[in-house]
Amino acid sequence: MSNLLLEVHLLEREFQDLVAAYPELAEDEQLRADTIEGETNAEIILSRIAAQILDAKALSAAQQSRIDDLKARQAGSERRGEAMRKLALRLLQAADLPRVRLPEATLTVAKGRDSVEITDEAGLPAWAWKTDVTKSVSKSAIKEALDGGLSVPGARIKTGEPTLQVR
């Protein structure tokens, strides 16, 4: 990577030197492209960079696939663990034992936790309800208005930084 960084830096200087030596290159994009192609190794460097972009994209996709597989395996492990907890609880309850000490772990039947069960929502008092109000900006509506020529106080169209498309 650092080698590529150095080569890009050198090419940038080489481009500047070419335009300084041949000012007509600044005005003629086709002539500039042809000169850069013929006089520099820019296309070779760009090909190497493009290959690394595509490799990184492929690696990222493979990693995401592996992450998805591992998440599925994790979910299966969690379900298995919960099923084993239920089996152990059944055995301890069937034996009427509150606790069993094993070399691997101590298994204890714990009292269930209290929780609220709603039996009739309509009968709940007003203080038992909470109101969730979420206020958020609709950038899509604002963009549509601005694109339509309307003025929106507090908002404006901003053009992002140039990006590179690789296909």
Task: Evaluate whether residue 146 is within a structural domain.
Answer: no
* Tens-place pLDDT, residues 101-150: 999 999 999 998 888 999 999 999 898 999 888 999 999 999 999 999 99
Q: Residue 164: its pLDDT value, please?
A: 75
Residue 87 pLDDT: 96
Dihedral class, residue 33 (left if φ above 0, else alpha if ψ from -120 to 50, else beta): alpha
**How much is the pLDDT for 1?**
57
Note down the domain range covering 102: 2-110
**Residue 4 clears pLDDT 60, i.e. is over it:** yes
Q: What is the mean pLDDT of residues 29-45?
A: 96
- Mean pLDDT score of the chain, rounded to an integer? 94
- Residue 148 domain-assigned (yes or no): no
Whether residue 141 lies inside any domain: the answer is no
What is the C-alpha separation between 91 and 97, in angstroms, rounded? Answer: 9
Question: Do the domain assignments include residue 84?
Answer: yes
99, part of any domain: yes
Q: Is residue 38 part of a domain?
A: yes
- Mean pLDDT for the stretch of residues 82-102: 96
pLDDT for residue 29: 96
Q: Looking at residue 148, what is its pLDDT?
A: 95
152 lies in some domain: no
How many folded domains does the chain comprise?
1
H/E element holding 101?
strand 99-101
pTM value surpassing 0.75: no
How confident is the model at residue 43, as a pLDDT?
Answer: 97
Residue 101 lies in a domain: yes
Tokens for 119, please give them: 């039996």
